[in-house]
Amino acid sequence: MKEQTIAADPGTRLVVSGPPAHEVTAELVSRIHAIGQLLRENAVEADRNRVLPDSSIAALESTGALRISALQRYGGYEGGATMLLEAARTVGLYCPAAAWVTVISNGSVMLANRYDDELLDEIFADGPVRMASIFASPQGTAIPEGDGWRVSGEWPFASNSMHSDWAIGILNVHGSGDDQPRIGFAMMRRGEYGVKDTWYTIGMRGSGSNTMVADDQWIPRNRIITFEQLMGQTVESDPTVTFGRRLTPHLTMSTTIQAPALGAAYAALDYVTDLSQRRGITYTNYKRQTDSGAFVQGLGAASMKIDSARLLLERSAADIDNAASGTTPLPLPERARNRGGIGHAGHELVEAVNDLCWLHGTAAFSENSLLGRMWRDINTGTRHASIAAPMGYELHGNGLTGTEFISAKL
């Protein structure tokens, strides 16, 4: 992977050619470990109240974890997929919901980087910000009015909406001269959208993934861009733009949104391993779980499933960053291959945590069990539509067979 170099573009804005050096990521990860105990203690409160405590958000901000995707010109790392994957995986060791928020905030900023420079100068005038976004399917409308748009809509499952300063919502844009509306994305400032309390789940509860709401809200014209501008590949081959703009949006989001489950799986593995020296196996003669060859073998197999998931995600992140360091977009079959790998990673993580629960015993399902909470978070997080295994496998199969891709978001 190329090391990052910086130059000034013709408009005096910094242009970065590649992701940060590995040492920069390692330093960030070290700072995250330093706040790990606070995140782990707050995770119980986050799960109970269905939102991260403010102290968890403040701790994440103190490490720099919430400015990974902000462009360097605005004080961010401009960090790419590998940096975000590593940071979120580490946060996930302590609080998967905090890791989810870390990914969504940074991923939303990555999407915002596709807007024009003048708007970015406004959004990041005081430095990096926290963001939310929904880009699955249009659930709002934009109608032209004067020098802007009249926007209304509701966008469910908007993670980090409780702590966001700005948000992006996908909608139908009317008045373009076509008979049918076009798909676009509206950038809204806090106060231009509200939050409806709708997030009631058994897992990833602390992510606060409630519903964003805009009610007949006027926004300036440059706050809406088209599907092609936000999701398209044109900018990915532009040699004049900075690295953070060339990151392919959907594959980056899909890769990194699996990181919270990866971190949670490692936490579950550590938990079961640490207690195995002190726990026996009921209805057997084993005084310690580690006396059982079946237990030891099962623990090793679960560990390999988690490592396999990590390798697949690291491959995807490396492919993304390498492509964004140049001007040749990833070919669609390679994107689909990585989507298949991302889905398979989630499948392996679910199997691994299920295996760990079998090995640990029914205590895993105590209401206050850390292992039980990891089981709930992993099983919930890996079902996200962008990373669900069945769709990922089919996308990869499309690439292998040359059949039509089932999704335009690659």
Provide the CATH number for the domain around residue 120: 1.10.540.10
Residue 284 lies in a domain: yes
| pLDDT at res. 142 | 98
Alpha carbon distance, N-terminus to C-terminus of the chain: 22
Residue 338 lies in a domain: yes
Number of independent structural domains in the chain: 3
Both 391 and 262 in one domain: the answer is: yes
| pLDDT at res. 409 | 86
Both 208 and 198 in one domain: the answer is: yes
| pLDDT at res. 406 | 95
The domain boundary, picked from 98, 129, 160, lies at 129
Residue 49 lies in a domain: yes
The domain boundary, picked from 114, 129, 144, lies at 129
User: What domain range includes position 30?
Assistant: 6-129
Contacts for 344 with CB less than 8 Å, ≥ 6 apart: 309, 312, 389, 392, 393
Distance CA 35, CA 149 (A): 42
Q: How many CB atoms lie within 10 A of CB 392?
A: 24
Which CATH number is 258's domain given? Answer: 1.20.140.10
Q: How many CB atoms lie within 10 A of CB 67?
A: 25
Both 202 and 299 in one domain: the answer is: no
Residue 234 lies in a domain: no
Rounded mean pLDDT for each run of 10 residues along the chain, 410 residues in total = 56 91 98 98 97 98 98 98 98 98 98 98 98 93 97 97 97 84 97 97 97 98 96 96 98 98 98 97 97 98 98 98 98 98 98 98 95 98 95 97 93
Model confidence pTM above 0.75:
yes
Both 151 and 26 in one domain: the answer is: no
Residue 239 lies in a domain: no
Both 91 and 167 in one domain: the answer is: no
| pLDDT at res. 408 | 86
| pLDDT at res. 1 | 47
Both 395 and 252 in one domain: the answer is: yes
Distance CA 352, CA 90 (A): 18
Residue 78 lies in a domain: yes
Both 272 and 369 in one domain: the answer is: yes
Which CATH number is 208's domain given? Answer: 2.40.110.10
Residue 274 lies in a domain: yes
| pLDDT at res. 176 | 66
Both 91 and 202 in one domain: the answer is: no
SS3 150: strand
Residue 111 lies in a domain: yes
Both 375 and 297 in one domain: the answer is: yes
| pLDDT at res. 124 | 98
Both 291 and 373 in one domain: the answer is: yes
Q: What is the token pair recorded at 348?
A: 């392996």
The domain boundary, picked from 174, 194, 227, lies at 227
Both 379 and 264 in one domain: the answer is: yes
Both 192 and 310 in one domain: the answer is: no
Single-letter code of the amino acid located at 167: A
Distance CA 231, CA 168 (A): 13
Contact 165/179 with Cβ under 8 angstroms? no
